[in-house]
A and B are shown apart, each in its own frame.
Chain A
Amino acid sequence: MEKHRVVITGLGVAAANAIGVDNYEKALREGKSGIKYLEELEKINLKCQIGGAPDLNSVNLGDHLPRMLAEKITNKGILYALLSGVEAWKDAGLEPNTVRTDFDSGMIFGAGDLSFDSFINRDFPAYPIDKGDSRKLGSRTISECMNSGAAAYLNSILGLGNRIQSNSSACITGSEAVLMGYEYLSSGKADRMICGSTEGDGRYIWAGFDAMRVLCSNSNDNPEFGSRPMSDSSSGFVPSGGSGALVLETLECAKARGAKIYGEILGGHVNSGGQRNGGTMTAANPDAVIDCITRAIKNAGISPEEIDLINGHLTSTKGDPAEIRNWVKALGRSGEDFPLINTPKSMIGHSVAGAGSVELVASVLQLHKDFVHANLNVENIHPEILSEIFGGCIPTSCQSREVNTVIKANFAFGDLNCALVLRKYKE
């Protein structure tokens, strides 16, 4: 069966340091941090009292969303998904289908923990149920809590009629959604898929991570220094929320309608370490990470030497040196031969299920616009990383340079891995 080439024709994002793709590109270039001290976390005795959230006060929701959604939806994970999804669709030069259902277009839009969003503290508390007052839950509790809620509300705007799916795979959710959309289009089952993921924010989602002792707890007085992937003092991830969306299309369809093309997806892979051989619920089996990257490169039909930039997972935890070791082994490149590597996490923290898509938008922008953004707070690189790769491979300032091939990976709880290879579009 002939495989269809798949290109990216639209982008949308709501991230902790910017809402909207133009603002996000500017923030990435400037190295703008979206991490803040949050008093509400101190009040409830979390050890980590910093985090990131897209600033909803910076946008007028009514300008972007239908009236009912703008005024009534309070689940932040869903609002971020609607903002990024609608932006991506319009950025692709498409309009929501107001009357007909578009059976040629579909959606894969994942979410992490919609039911633990901070909105449960306000309009739809769990408390009325226990007080015998569940009638107060109204009509939106189910649709805002169900894991497919972000996709369902987004499609209430877009009116798509091909496959509408919501994956949930912890921190690989976003990259997996894009990989699934790529595979679906490549097999010819649809013309166009909008793919992405979302995560809300706030204490209900974050407290469990705090209890696991995996969050950064030693930068409460210096929030912007909290997220420091690859640093010798990385002490835990900084939690955040956000959503990214990408419109994928078969090359034929994109060309037929004269769409702007940001780049091409060459291939990818998703796998699991089976929670064996070093892999656990929370740690990655290194053999599986290497297998995932290796197969992604093989599926993309490229050689590791062609990679200009790695967009790593790199959460600012003790796992960062292990991730670098896995990249070195998978690519067979080390020292000065290692590609440049970065992650937006130093600016926006770790947006959990939103991370993959928010970070993929950064990957595509760097590919399309020929720049490599900085990693903040990594003046002192972890010595175990320096024993593997040259320090200059970790940019600490934004660089203008040609970027033709990017590999993006995320690794997740449940011992899950996902990698995607993107290339600048050429005929």
Chain B
Amino acid sequence: MMNRETVKTDLINIIKPYLPEDIMANDVSEDKHLINDLMINSAHIVDIVLDIEDKFDIMIDDDVIGEMNTVQDSINVVLQKTAA
């Protein structure tokens, strides 16, 4: 099982380039919604998913992408997939 904090750090590094200029990496907490709170362009969610797949060597199906609303959701998906 991967360490939750490690996954979170990696995830924030993946998300960081997609954040609008006025949102800082420090603002990314687990409860934040990727699109509604962090204001990430919804088109870039697929890029974030591809970056996550590369980083953790996992495959995330389209129906799972729909469940990755918050940072916490995304961490949970990575933890589930890497544990499998």
Contacts from A to B (Cβ < 8 Å): 66-68, 71-72, 135-136, 138-140
Whether B17 and A67, one on each chain, are in contact in the complex, defined by CB atoms closer than 8 angstroms, is: yes
Whether B47 and A139, one on each chain, are in contact in the complex, defined by CB atoms closer than 8 angstroms, is: yes
B67 at the interface (CB under 8 A from A): no
Q: Is the interface of A mostly helix, strand, loop or mixed?
A: helix
| Selected contact of B21 from candidates A67, A135, A140, CB within 8 Å | A67
A98 to chain B, nearest CB (A): 8
A209 to chain B, nearest CB (A): 33
B50 at the interface (CB under 8 A from A): yes
Whether B21 and A138, one on each chain, are in contact in the complex, defined by CB atoms closer than 8 angstroms, is: no
B58 at the interface (CB under 8 A from A): no
Q: Which of A66, A136, A138 has the most CB of B within 10 A?
A: A138
Q: Which residues of A contact B19 (CB under 8 A)?
A: 67-68
What 0/1 readout, one digit per residue, does chain B (30-70) give for beta carbons within 8 Å of chain A? 00000000000001101100100000000000000000000
Whether A138 and B17, one on each chain, are in contact in the complex, defined by CB atoms closer than 8 angstroms, is: no
Whether A138 and B46, one on each chain, are in contact in the complex, defined by CB atoms closer than 8 angstroms, is: yes
Whether A139 and B43, one on each chain, are in contact in the complex, defined by CB atoms closer than 8 angstroms, is: yes
A349 to chain B, nearest CB (A): 33
Q: Which residue of B lies closest to A156 (CB)?
A: B41
Number of interface residues of B (CB under 8 A): 10
B76 to chain A, nearest CB (A): 22
Q: Which residue of A lies closest to B62 (CB)?
A: A135
CA distance A68 to B41 in the complex (A): 11
What 0/1 readout, one digit per residue, does chain B (2-37) give for beta carbons within 8 Å of chain A? 000000000000001111010000000000000000
CA distance A140 to B18 in the complex (A): 12
Q: Which residues of A contact B16 (CB under 8 A)?
A: 67
Whether A71 and B17, one on each chain, are in contact in the complex, defined by CB atoms closer than 8 angstroms, is: yes
Whether B17 and A140, one on each chain, are in contact in the complex, defined by CB atoms closer than 8 angstroms, is: no
Whether B46 and A68, one on each chain, are in contact in the complex, defined by CB atoms closer than 8 angstroms, is: no
Whether A68 and B50, one on each chain, are in contact in the complex, defined by CB atoms closer than 8 angstroms, is: no
CA distance A331 to B51 in the complex (A): 59
Q: Which 3 A-B pairs have the closest CB atoms?
A: A71-B17, A139-B43, A138-B47
Whether A72 and B21, one on each chain, are in contact in the complex, defined by CB atoms closer than 8 angstroms, is: no
A308 to chain B, nearest CB (A): 45
Whether B50 and A136, one on each chain, are in contact in the complex, defined by CB atoms closer than 8 angstroms, is: yes
CA distance A72 to B50 in the complex (A): 13
Whether A139 and B21, one on each chain, are in contact in the complex, defined by CB atoms closer than 8 angstroms, is: no
CA distance A2 to B46 in the complex (A): 51
B50 to chain A, nearest CB (A): 5
Whether B50 and A140, one on each chain, are in contact in the complex, defined by CB atoms closer than 8 angstroms, is: no
Whether A68 and B17, one on each chain, are in contact in the complex, defined by CB atoms closer than 8 angstroms, is: yes
Whether A68 and B43, one on each chain, are in contact in the complex, defined by CB atoms closer than 8 angstroms, is: no
Q: Which residues of B contact A135 (CB under 8 A)?
A: 46, 50
A64 to chain B, nearest CB (A): 13
CA distance A423 to B48 in the complex (A): 50
CA distance A68 to B39 in the complex (A): 13
CA distance A135 to B45 in the complex (A): 13
The 23 listed contacts between A and B (C-beta, < 8 Å) are: A66-B21, A67-B16, A67-B17, A67-B19, A67-B21, A68-B17, A68-B18, A68-B19, A68-B44, A71-B17, A72-B17, A72-B18, A72-B47, A135-B46, A135-B50, A136-B50, A138-B46, A138-B47, A138-B50, A139-B43, A139-B44, A139-B46, A139-B47
CA distance A72 to B41 in the complex (A): 14
B41 to chain A, nearest CB (A): 8
Q: Which of A66, A139, A140 has the most CB of B within 10 A?
A: A139
Apart from the given pairs A68-B19, A138-B50, A140-B47, 4 other A-B contacts in the complex at a CB distance below 8 Å: A66-B21, A67-B17, A135-B46, A139-B43
Q: Which residues of B contact A139 (CB under 8 A)?
A: 43-44, 46-47
A135 to chain B, nearest CB (A): 8
Q: Which residue of A lies closest to B59 (CB)?
A: A135
B22 to chain A, nearest CB (A): 9
B40 to chain A, nearest CB (A): 9
Q: Which residue of B lies closest to A67 (CB)?
A: B17
Q: Which residues of A contact B17 (CB under 8 A)?
A: 67-68, 71-72
B9 to chain A, nearest CB (A): 17
A330 to chain B, nearest CB (A): 49
Q: Which residues of B contact A68 (CB under 8 A)?
A: 17-19, 44
Q: Which residues of B contact A136 (CB under 8 A)?
A: 50
Q: Which residues of B contact A138 (CB under 8 A)?
A: 46-47, 50
CA distance A138 to B44 in the complex (A): 8
CA distance A71 to B16 in the complex (A): 10
Q: Which residue of A lies closest to B17 (CB)?
A: A71
A369 to chain B, nearest CB (A): 35
Q: Which residues of A contact B47 (CB under 8 A)?
A: 72, 138-140
A142 to chain B, nearest CB (A): 10
